[in-house]
Amino acid sequence: MSDNATTNQSEFIVDTVPSGALVVGIDGSDRDDTCIRYAAGAAQRNNRPMHLLHAQDIAVELAAANPIAARGLAFVPDLVLDSGILSRALERARAEWPDLQITGSEPWMHPEEALIEASDDAYLIVVGSSRIRGLERLLLGRSALAVSLHARCPVIILPEGGRTDADGPVVLGFDGSEGAREAARRAFWIADVRGTSVRTVTSWYAEVVDGHVVTTPGTPAWEQVESGYRRMVEEGLADIRAEYPNVDLDIRVVRGPAAEMLARESADASLLVIGSRGRGGFRGMLLGSVSHKVLETATSPVMVIRGKKKK
């Protein structure tokens, strides 16, 4: 790659995120290409621009070279650290997808702050994850988790080593709450665009029928519990299903811990969609251990929906 080619990409580096763009968080790692490729496919399907965001965190940059000097660092606005990460990523992306509108930015901010700020104008944010000691850990650690918690647009976390293709059903964690219904609207819409199906997963664990805890599969009490949850799903999705008559629906009611059931049922999925609020097995899932486990163990991409967002 010539210095000229890299320098020429500077005209596509902008100060603001284009409205309605798919924003990709990059950091110079091998995962960048996977995230960019995934976002480019979504941008093409949705006829939207793509924006690469590389946050320049001066403390991180200096810590890599001199951890002692970076301690207690005060921000120095005149210091410029040009790693070329964004320019090179832009060159590769624009060469591979010449018909896409592709821009980039390098704000002087912590990665999570930059991505959360970008979510005001973004259509979707895509970030990656890495595998550490056999468990899925987020690419930006607390930063990526903060983005999934606080972004004001949908966020997709891509697992390292997991599938990132668009084949397979869209799996939806559904408990009847309004947050789950918002997630359902997006899940059905995505399935319709991709020409695939939706699989809902509703988890339950401890239910009491006639004064007894339900524990034995196949008993009348067990069937009563499952039919009740299935009815809840059917009624809760009736209006959304009517909007997407060509999307097949597979309703699965399963007994077990919510995070474990979601990860298991989404193993063959192209995408797992979860809402930011819920009740029952999914209550506060993005505020505690359940959400962490879903994001850490799912082998499919995970989309987190927070409130209503334009399609």
Three-state secondary structure string covering 237-280? HHHHHHHCCCCCEEEEEEECCHHHHHHHHCCCCCEEEEECCCCH
CB atoms within 10 A of CB 265: 21
- Choose from 6-10, 245-249, 274-278 the range with maximum mean pLDDT: 245-249
How sure is the predictor about 143, in pLDDT bands with cuts at 50, 70 and 90? low
Mean of all residue pLDDT scores within the chain: 81
Q: What is the largest CA-CA distance in the chain?
A: 76
How sure is the predictor about 150, in pLDDT bands with cuts at 50, 70 and 90? confident
> Which residues are registered as beta bridge partners of 208?
213
Beta-carbon contacts of residue 201 (< 8 Å; ≥ 6 apart): 171, 172, 173, 174, 252, 254, 261, 262, 265, 266
Tokens of 239: 């209006």
Rounded Cα distance between 182 and 198, Å, is 14
Q: List the domains of the chain with CATH numbers.
A: 3-158 (3.40.50.620), 170-305 (3.40.50.620)
pLDDT in tens, 39-51: 999 999 999 999 9
Answer yes or no: is pLDDT of 82 > 70: no
Answer yes or no: is pLDDT of 255 > 70: yes
pLDDT of res. 74: 47
pLDDT in tens, 169-196: 999 999 888 888 999 999 999 999 999 9
Contact of 297 with 259, CB cutoff 8 Å: yes
Answer yes or no: is pLDDT of 202 > 50: yes
Answer yes or no: is pLDDT of 252 > 90: yes
Residue 303 corresponds to which amino acid?
M
Rounded Cα distance between 137 and 145, Å, is 10
Contact of 136 with 158, CB cutoff 8 Å: no
- Choose from 118-132, 165-179, 223-237 the range with maximum mean pLDDT: 223-237
What's the average model confidence in pLDDT over 60-65? 50
3-state SS assignment for residue 138: strand
Answer yes or no: is pLDDT of 137 > 80: no
> Which residues are registered as beta bridge partners of 84?
none
What's the average model confidence in pLDDT over 14-30? 92
What's the average model confidence in pLDDT over 46-73? 69
